[in-house]
Amino acid sequence: MAYEYDSENIFAKILRGEIPNSTVADSEYSLAFRDIAPAAPEHILVIPKGAYVNFDHFGIEASDAEIVDFNRLVAKITREIGVAQDVGGQGYRLITNAGVHGVQDVLHFHMHILGGRRLGRMIAT
Ligand code: 5GP
Question: What residue type is 120 in one-letter code?
Answer: G
What pLDDT does 125 receive?
Answer: 63
Question: Quick one: DSSP state of residue 21?
Answer: -
User: 9 alpha carbon to ligand 1 midpoint, in Å?
Assistant: 11
Spell out the domain ranges in the chain: 10-115
**Would you give per-residue pLDDT tens digits along the chain (125 residues)?**
799 999 999 999 999 999 999 999 999 999 999 999 999 999 999 999 999 999 999 999 999 999 999 999 999 999 999 999 999 999 999 999 999 999 999 999 999 999 999 999 988 76
- 96 CB within 6 A, ligand 1: no
Q: Which residues are catalytic?
A: 110
Question: What's the CATH code, domain 10-115?
Answer: 3.30.428.10
Task: Name the residue among 105, 90, 88, 122 with its Cα closest to residue 35.
Answer: 105
pTM, rounded to two decimals: 0.97
Question: Quick one: DSSP state of residue 87?
Answer: G
